[in-house]
Chain A
């Protein structure tokens, strides 16, 4: 496994009586596309919130690029190169698509910023919509916009929370192409949460399986899909695991 860009070590998080994250540890290799899967409510989004500083862990550590970043504020994490999307899309609704992107980054002239924004929009296929109001876009296009906005930060690590959910296979393919392309060209690392197993198995080199706030298994997609404990965790959700082997590339 390559040098880790992100290390999560023994992280705990309670919400009142709910023990959402229970001593969770894992690593994400630099320049990999790593999947994070697990049943509903197992703590995936909470883990994203702990990594990005939205929540502070009760205990444990988050190490990013060799530095302890536990409990740093979200805007600091973003400036360090950690970008994320939200499970429930959060675009700036009354602003134009282009304006959504031009809010960042910080270290560029407005000319460079605009050029990069146009490039990113072209990559995700929203170039035609640049002047449209974000709130007027379709559900799928809003997801694409939020996905595109992430790259404005020139991120090193991108956390994607169910960006493939509820959009057409054609758009999913486009998003996968963009992810692979940014990884290959710019060395961006991705941690991808999704329930669409076909996408996860296709896209990721490494998959982390989470259950009850812990990492249950970790490995290449083919290993994971054969792992008994994983299949058990998904028992009620067997259909999700079905067809996994047929869709490998």
Chain B
């Protein structure tokens, strides 16, 4: 079962082909739903890198969503192409994360998590105060985007890059070193790993992914204000999705974002009043019964099955 095996390659290729076809063949509703799932996928992978792999659980990565969003909005307003504006937003967020990381990544555990939450709120306050650039709480209105297709394809590319990048990271020495930092930072350092540098790189790439999503979504929504740029709920959503699927795994965020995204949509459509209650109960059950997330639990189950199967086959072989 090597990665190069055609059996692992084909389902992925088919899935990608279907996803590319969606905006051209599916209804507007399905396209819009898939589009928001793709955004969740990208965000969950961005969060997974710094929090799932490196162990620095952040409740404020959404800060970079807003940085990407505002950069795109301001540049688009000035006449720049929205995609270029989003890419510049990604670069700015990445550089900003290097500077902020130098300070924030000295904090550990809950202090880092809450410090990031505070940072995101600070960003929102600053965005509200810088009226001349951001138009304050009135927000920036952009010309409505006439076609979903470019936005959809941009988010699809981002989500795919995040998935493939994580798959590569997972097998790389760089990835192993991030995991080592998560497991025991002092021991990692005693092995010669310059932990500060590794953490900052992970934090910065995470910021780039999340900012790119923010830029594209801002163009899609055609509006940004401090509340839509830095929604605390969105940060919670990316945490929950990655944790549900399995943080620090290649497929966890994909499973988490698509499953919870679809469940949320179905609940919201069918039980608008009870949506949040049911959603909360589901999350509670998950945390109680599969705290490691879906992907690790499933693969453990399959491995146990596989082992049992081998034993059974072995016995049969022995009898024959």
A residues apposed to B, CB below 8 Å: 52, 54, 73-75, 78-79, 83-84, 86, 90-95, 99-100, 102-106, 110, 113, 149, 152-153
Contacts and interface: CB of A to CB of B under 8 A. Distances in A.
A106 B192 contact: yes
Given A102-B176, A103-B173, A110-B173, A92 B187 contact: yes
A75 B176 contact: no
A152 B173 contact: no
B190 interface: yes
Contacts of A91: 183-184, 187
Interface string B179-191: 1100110111111
B202 to A, nearest CB: 15
B26 to A, nearest CB: 40
B199 interface: no
B301 to A, nearest CB: 16
Closest 7 CB pairs of A and B: A78-B192, A92-B183, A90-B187, A79-B192, A74-B189, A103-B180, A104-B191
23 contacts: A54-B190, A74-B190, A75-B189, A75-B195, A78-B192, A83-B190, A84-B190, A86-B187, A92-B179, A92-B180, A93-B183, A93-B184, A94-B183, A95-B180, A99-B179, A100-B180, A103-B173, A103-B176, A103-B188, A104-B191, A104-B192, A105-B192, A106-B192
B313 interface: no
A54 B191 CA distance: 12
A153 to B, nearest CB: 6
B303 to A, nearest CB: 11
Contacts of B179: 92, 94-95, 99
A92 B192 contact: no
B96 interface: no
B119 interface: no
A132 to B, nearest CB: 12
Nearest to B193: A75
A131 B79 CA distance: 55
Interface in B144-197: 173, 176-177, 179-180, 183-184, 186-195
Greatest chain B CB density within 10 A among A83, A90, A91, A149 is at: A90
